[in-house]
Amino acid sequence: MARAFLVVMDSVGIGGAPDADTFFNGRVPDTGANTLGHIAQACAEGRAEDGRSGPLNVPYMASLGLGPAIELASGLHIASLDATVSGTWGAATEISRGKDTPSGHWELAGLPVPWEWHYFPDVSKSFPPALVAQLAAFAGTDEILGNCHAPGTAIIEEFGAQHIKTGFPICYTSADSVLQIAAHEESFGLQRLLDLCENMAPIAHEMKVGRVIARPFIGDAQSGFTRTTNRRDFAIKPPAPVLSNWVQDSGARVYAVGKIGDIFSMTGFDEVRKGSDETLMGHLGDLVESAEDGSLTFANFVEFDSLYGHRRDVSGYARALEWFDAEIGKLLGQLRDGDLLVLTADHGNDPTWVGTDHTRERAPVLVAGQGAGRLGQIGFRDVAGLVARHLGVAVPD
């Protein structure tokens, strides 16, 4: 009997979004951004030699059609990805007006976002005074720190010591529809941070802010600060059933690996497994071995985005892709007859691009379990239909 594994490589875009000119990093439009294509070019030209060397080496994704998918999406041919293709491949285009996690994942699960997200466009003093006052009140503090656009690692380096001294939470945003709150797990307290974010979530959601994210960290000013894996996303609940609900309502089990459960407000999942990407790969391997017939495993690997894309670390991103490819290669050999494994992405985050925000791109769709074939240009929501049809689950109108 069929099983399905839908794996989202967070931010691993392939360029070519037709509306990229309407999305920006600062004042620069995303036109021409191409996360995978530009990483592969940098590797081939010797510009990604930190901890690795040579052309981008992802033979398993290449065998599933990664090279043709990039060329279909953006017209860019990458010689190092030439391979005999044994998978089914295509390029997916998003229609939701967002280049963020909820927009991409909801649409991949069959539900384009039915509204305009609320953003905080001001780079400094980003949050309105009423929201700042509410943040401080829920935190039990006189003030907050940050109140600006910032990468998550940079802002804890800037404000970490002051946060420990004052107890004020570090609050920041980005080009995404998000309110992020960072706090020290020990001096501020992990549960206190989670409670703060949970209390803020309904207020932010009423504004149509997509997520309130708890960003716990540890360390000190002398040795440095490090974010932990206890991140928690408090996201708006999807306003209609999505792929996980369709499968669960059919009577089959649904597993969430990574932040997937948070993205969908825990709706439609029987079990949630979290951790670092290395830990998540272990969870995915366990489910390939043990998940029941008819089940769906929906996974997200976030560190491409969080550790390398936002930091514009080309070598690090390439290393992560090569590690991921090798691990997926092991799992491909363990799939059962009747299994479907789909690799895709939710948006781009081109590490060669200006700024530090996501980039508007198409996503690869690489399918193992259906033989060799060409999907062509499809929509994000067509990925949900592909998985549902494989599992014999009805797709609602």
Residue type, 46: G
Q: In DSSP terms, which residues pair with 234 in a beta bridge?
A: 212
Query: What φ, ψ does residue 375 adopt, rounded to 5°?
Result: -80, -30
Q: How far is CA 296 from CA 17, 242, 248, 306, in A?
A: 28, 13, 9, 25
Annotated binding site: 10, 305, 310, 346-347, 358
- 3-state SS of the chain is CCEEEEEEECCCCCCCCCCHHHCEECCEECCCCCHHHHHHHHHHCCCCCCCCCCCCCCHHHHHHCHHHHHHHHHCCCCHHHCCCCCCEEEEEECCCCCCCHHHHHHHHCCCCCCCCCCCCCCCECCCCHHHHHHHHHHHCCCCCEEEEECCHHHHHHHHHHHHHHHCCCEEEECCCCEEEEEEEHHHHHHHHHHHHHHHHHHHHHHCCCCEEEEEEEEEECCCEEEECCCCEEEECCCCCCCHHHHHHHCCCCEEEECCHHHHCCCCCCCEEECCCHHHHHHHHHHHHHHCCCCCEEEEEECHHHHHHHCCCCHHHHHHHHHHHHHHHHHHHCCCCCCEEEEEECCCECCCCCCCCCCECCCEEEEEECCCCEEEEEEEHHHHHHHHHHHHCCCCCC
Annotated binding site for Mn(2+): 10, 305, 310, 346-347, 358
Question: At CA 321, angle to CA 317 and CA 327, rounded to 5?
Answer: 145
